[in-house]
Amino acid sequence: MKFKVDIDMTPEELRKVLGLPDVQQFQKDMMDKITEQMEAGVEGYDPLTLFKPYLTSGLGSMEALQKLMMGLMTSGISSTDNKKD
């Protein structure tokens, strides 16, 4: 038996359904800060240090999502293999 579900939604609606934060203002603020520091010619300016706290937590949650999805896919495969035996 196969089920097919088509969902028609905008990226904004999908973001809300998944509970993801709206980061548009954050991105704008970060780009404004980076531009401001670049224009000021700050010595020793490193944009990676500005993003480091946000990248660390963001990548962790992405890894958790990937592990969750992989677990769901592999549990489905193992349960269908058991049924065939």
pLDDT per residue as tens digits for the range 7-63 = 899 988 988 888 888 888 888 998 888 888 777 766 666 667 766 766 666 556 677
Structure tokens at 44: 């020793």
- Tokens 């944009």 appear where? 47
Q: Write down the pTM of the prediction.
A: 0.37
**Is 43 or 81 the better-scoring residue by pLDDT?**
43
Please state the domain extents for the chain.
11-84
Tokens of 72: 């769901």
Banded pLDDT at 4 (limits 50, 70, 90): very high
